[in-house]
């Protein structure tokens, strides 16, 4: 599966020796509950017109990114090279280790915390996760809500963890 490259300026170098050991799954839709369009791409590339929709006001000046974004139809976009640190998890902790951006790959799914994800998204996510697991010493997969509890709730309760984990179980 080939990803369409959409370079984001919102990244930097990982700390020396950090390694990639975690996948962090997120969900987003802009405006909330609306799919398609280029608002998410614009957000990750710092070109979002925050006056274009009332829900965008809180995003003014925000500098965030993901490594990958999977649209509802399964299309895969890549914003940041895996070797670089994307700015996706924010203040975060996983198994006692702070700053998850240092050692994780962020994967964003187009959706909301309370919506089901499409079959095409699961197929794309499984293929991407398998590829990343082959290429990096990844030991865990977590939700954004797991690494930033109380602050984040995505990808939400409708995400089918058993489906993903069964498909990649022999990889981790």
> Which positions are annotated as active-site residues?
108
What gap in Å lies between CA 55 and CA 77, rounded to an integer?
A: 23
Other CB atoms within 10 A of residue 85 CB: 25
Side-by-side strand order, sheet with 140-143 = 4-5, 76-78, 68-70, 104-110, 22-28, 140-143
Cα dihedral 160, 88, 70, 61 sign: positive
What gap in Å lies between CA 80 and CA 11, rounded to an integer?
A: 7
């Amino acid at each position: 599966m080939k990803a369409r490259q959409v370079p984001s300026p919102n990244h930097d170098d990982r700390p020396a020796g950090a390694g990639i050991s975690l996948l962090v799954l997120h969900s987003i839709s802009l405006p909330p509950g609306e799919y398609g369009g280029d608002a998410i791409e614009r957000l990750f590339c710092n070109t979002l017109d925050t006056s274009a929709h009332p829900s965008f006001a809180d995003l003014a000046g925000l500098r965030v990114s993901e490594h990958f974004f999977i649209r509802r139809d399964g299309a895969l976009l890549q914003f940041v090279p895996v070797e670089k640190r994307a700015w996706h998890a924010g203040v975060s902790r996983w198994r006692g280790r702070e700053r998850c951006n240092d050692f994780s790959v962020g994967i964003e799914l187009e959706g909301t915390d309370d919506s089901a994800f499409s079959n095409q998204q699961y197929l794309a996510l499984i293929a991407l996760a398998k590829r990343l697991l082959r290429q990096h010493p990844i030991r865990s997969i977590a939700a954004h809500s797991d690494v930033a509890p109380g602050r984040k709730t995505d990808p939400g309760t409708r995400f089918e963890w058993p489906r993903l984990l069964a498909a990649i179980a022999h990889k981790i």
